[in-house]
Amino acid sequence: MSKAARRFMIMVEFFAHVNEPSMTSGSSSSVHKLISTPRPENYLSFCCLNFDCAPLEIFELTTIADMQLIYTEISSQKTLFSRQTKQESSMDRVVAAALVLFFAVMSTRARALTSDYYDMTCPSVFSIVQQEVQAAVADEKRMAASLVRLHFHDCFVNGCDGSLLLDNSTDFETEKDAPANLDSARGFEVIDKIKAALEAACPNTVSCADILAIASRDSAVEVGLTNSYTVLLGRLDSLTASKFQANASLPAPNMNHAALVDNFGKVGLNETDLVALSGAHTIGRVNCTLLLRFALNNVDINSDFKANIEQACNANITGLQNLDLTTPDNFDNSYYSNLLKSEGILISDQTLFSTAGAASVAVVQNFASNQDAFFSQFALSTIKMGNIMPPAGQQGEIRTNCRVVNSASSAKLIAYE
């Protein structure tokens, strides 16, 4: 069976179980458990066991967001399916429904991301990015956290389009000057080096937005993430930036649980994604000026922990504090163990565990006891975040310098549909 055929059969298997779990192989109790929650990505892994593929391979065809759309659509169509004539077999109906919805979903994704996007045009893209990331992290461990954060802060503002990398111009204010980024977002010089190396090897080919996505993955892997996931590529670079939108879209360190869920929801991410992506705070540093402003008002952290932070930061107001005081330079699950001890250094961290009745509490507990579960979900949530697309109609390009838009003609521009 070809890879393409296998991927489609995964979708058929998914549809079959959602519509009529008894039609396909496997434990019906396991199937019912898997589809009882809106988590189709879990079920994709189950289906892959039957069709000899890696769980993340499906993302080369569809994203989690697509599958959630399909899941919702199938749920709303169950009544319709049940009205089909009895002469049609159940599998025929499922395959037909899969085909219709598959093409409907894919037709909305005019610029689909794929893992092999640069295989023909820049086959060395991954090795070049990895080499530069390894050198940067070897020089400064903190840089791993900085590069992971750049991808996150880019995607949350009008999609993953490299807008964060643009410097000020006469046409717009840079997102770097937004409060969430000012004196905080860093690693731009590393991105510059990667871009220069790629331009030398493959001119006018690899977008800055894609560089951010690859560098984020490689940085996390360099300091401990063992679930190295497939990075999907094919993004375009924006022609503008928006400090205003950055102010409106980026989560703040003093947000409570409700505000965070709302913030992530606006870009299509759920509460599990929120907890998993927050786990990136297992590495990195935070400015004491920020902590003195917010953390000391955090009623959810324990008093001894708060006193120690206050003492350290008052001794050096311009200094930095580790976000994870246990293993600050290792990508692991210590962040979640810290939350269980009420030692989340930011309000936006500790609220994930301290908000009574929140779904995030159980997720934090799971990740604290199961590092593999955290690593797997971090990969899935990062892929999902990486698929946040710019607004329809927005034009993009492949920048030759990540800090400025090209002076190219409009003929080289491409619009998102």
Q: How far apart are CA 154 and CA 141, in angstroms?
A: 21
The annotation status of 281 as a binding-site residue, yes or no, is yes
349 and 278 Cβ atoms separated by less than 8 Å:
yes
- Between the alpha carbon of residue 412 and those of residues 254, 399, 405, the distances in Å are 42, 11, 12
The sign of the torsion formed by the CA atoms of 322, 325, 329, 332 equals negative
- Between the alpha carbon of residue 59 and those of residues 231, 275, 291, 327, 349, the distances in Å are 9, 21, 39, 32, 29
The annotation status of 170 as a binding-site residue, yes or no, is no
3-state secondary structure of 102: helix
The annotation status of 175 as a binding-site residue, yes or no, is yes
The annotation status of 282 as a binding-site residue, yes or no, is yes
Q: How far apart are CA 415 and CA 417, in angstroms?
A: 6
The annotation status of 324 as a binding-site residue, yes or no, is yes
> Which regions of 200-335 does DSSP assign to beta strands (E)?
237-238, 285-287, 320-322
The annotation status of 157 as a binding-site residue, yes or no, is yes
Question: Which value, in Å, is the radius of gyration of the alpha carbons in the chain?
Answer: 22
The annotation status of 159 as a binding-site residue, yes or no, is yes
Q: How far apart are CA 125 and CA 129, in angstroms?
A: 6
Helix segments in 57-183, DSSP class H: 64-82, 90-107, 125-139, 142-155
The annotation status of 116 as a binding-site residue, yes or no, is no
Which residue is catalytic, options 17, 32, 151, 153? 153
DSSP 355-414: STT-HHHHHHHHHHH-HHHHHHHHHHHHHHHHT-PPPTT-EEE--SSTTS-----GGG-E
Based on the residue annotation, tell me whether 153 is a catalytic residue of this protein: yes
The annotation status of 88 as a binding-site residue, yes or no, is no
The annotation status of 300 as a binding-site residue, yes or no, is no
Hunting for tokens 């429904």 — which residue is that? Answer: 97
Q: Which of 117, 320, 123 is nearest to 233 (CA)?
A: 117
Q: How far apart are CA 222 and CA 35, in angstroms?
A: 35
The annotation status of 207 as a binding-site residue, yes or no, is no
First and final C-alpha spacing in the chain: 33
Cβ count within 10 A of residue 78: 11
The annotation status of 92 as a binding-site residue, yes or no, is no
Binding annotation: 154, 157, 159, 161, 163, 175, 251, 281-282, 324, 327, 332
Binding annotation for heme b: 281
Residues annotated as catalytic (active site), given as ranges: 153
Binding annotation for Ca(2+): 154, 157, 159, 161, 163, 175, 282, 324, 327, 332
Binding annotation for substrate: 251
